[in-house]
Amino acid sequence: MLKKRRVVVTGLGVVSPVGCNVEDFWKSIVEGKSGIGRLSAFDTTHFTCKIAAEVKNFDPSAYLSPKEMKRMDRFVQFAVVSAKMALLDSKLDMSKADPTRIGVMVGSGIGGLHTVEAEHRQYIAYGPEKGPGRISPFLIPMLIVNMASGQVSITLGLKGPNSAVATACATGNHAIGDAFRIIQRGEADGMMCGGSEAALTHMGFGGFCALKALATAYNDCPQKASRPFDKNRDGFVMGEGAGVVFLEEMEHALKRNAHIYCEIVGYGMSGDAYHMTAPDPQGDGGVRCMRNAIKDAGMKPEEVDYINAHGTSTLYNDRIETLAIKKVFGDYARKLAVSSTKSVTAHLLGAAGGVEMIVCALAIKHGIMPPTINYETPDPECDLDYVPNKARSHKVKVAVSNALGFGGHNATLIVKKFSE
């Protein structure tokens, strides 16, 4: 049996509602500064929900040419810009690297809705006779989910393993976990990986409204709307953005004296096989997923210091994820710090896992446990330490990131402070 190679995180890149660079993003996370406001992209008069977490002041021109921007959907732009940031942060000199040994695994839960809707409007405007001739030849290559990975590969010249993941809200964690496995097996020395999402469109937003999944009780005070684990939560808040991390085989990183944020040591997956949108009421999928990751890491549950929860602020998710954590960690669950940074960023769907991996890496680096803001009224069924409202200075040696998606897709990642 081949020995598994060790994998470390050496580069971070983020585009988010609370910052379009790592420094601003982390400052907002630690200070609990919400990125949620009235949705400005279109008129929400006839929508039940009026709020979202939009990426503001995003200027891709610093990273992309006008021609490139024109041929990329918004979710692809987010992904490429985040990947370029991660590469710069890693300080990897591509002129000295073997591009065939560096791959890409960036996913999206939904893909290019902006492109789909814009082209459909064009078709309808010209009617069934002239409409087909007005469809852009770039429609398909701009909307497909895999184009985030494809364009990252093209713009950065990365020729190694290249694939994409689409597992709803678990996408980012699956992409990072799958990239981790590729390096472990020796199929690549580096992987650019994570998730991207830009689905704040009429149909994307309207679809979640129709599902009755979005928060509606706080339309007049948007920054209070995302309140994971709070008794008065009433749904999640939709957001957009991207989180991309650069993973490297440990020796590859050490040879070039790279800065190492943390080491990925565990990855677990599971399926609920229960319902299209609801989690298993006993938390079975989440339980097995976390246990698989802990077993993969060769750790005891008591070694975990912090959990970045999926924590969506929906009635079912928060209660069931809490139950799953208690089943996995037993009495030790009461000593764990558990927080949901979706209280600050909102739910970035397929990008959530990538962004939250960055949170875990920085929590380890800075020794800070991020807060769950808007935690005001305890829920008897959500009775763990959710790091309420204020960040906590505390050494973090081991962090867990949970992602639980529609369709019953579950993915857990475990990272720890790096030590040779």
The torsion angle over the Cα atoms of residues 120, 124, 125 and 130, rounded to 10 degrees, is 100
What are 19-26's contacts with CB under 8 Å, separation 24+? 20/55, 20/57, 20/58, 20/59, 20/81, 21/85, 22/85, 22/89, 22/358, 22/362, 25/355, 25/358, 26/362, 26/366
**Is the distance from CB of 81 to CB of 89 less than 8 angstroms?**
no
- Catalytically active residues are 169, 310, 347
- The amino acid that residue 209 corresponds to is C
Residue 14 CB contacts under 8 Å (≥ 6 apart), including other chains = 20, 21, 22, 25, 82, 85, 241, 242, 243, 244, 354, 355, 358
DSSP 341: T
Paired tokens of 395: 């050494």
* Residues 139, 35: Cα–Cα separation, whole Å: 31
CA 50 to chain centre: 23
| Burial zone of 296 (CB within 10 Å; 0-12 exposed, 13-18 middle, 19+ buried) | buried
Instruction: From residue 67, give the alpha-carbon distance in Å to each of 70, 137, 200, 360, 400.
Output: 5, 15, 23, 35, 40
Paired tokens of 322: 């809490």
* Residues 224, 203: Cα–Cα separation, whole Å: 25
Give DSSP secondary structure letters for 7-66. Answer: EEEEEEEEEBTTBSSHHHHHHHHHHT----EE--SS--TTSS--EEBPPPS--GGGTS-H
Paired tokens of 7: 């994998």
Residue 33 CB contacts under 8 Å (≥ 6 apart), including other chains = 18, 27, 344
* Residues 242, 225: Cα–Cα separation, whole Å: 21
Does residue 68 sit in helix, strand or coil?
A: helix
Residue 135 CB contacts under 8 Å (≥ 6 apart), including other chains = 119, 122, 123
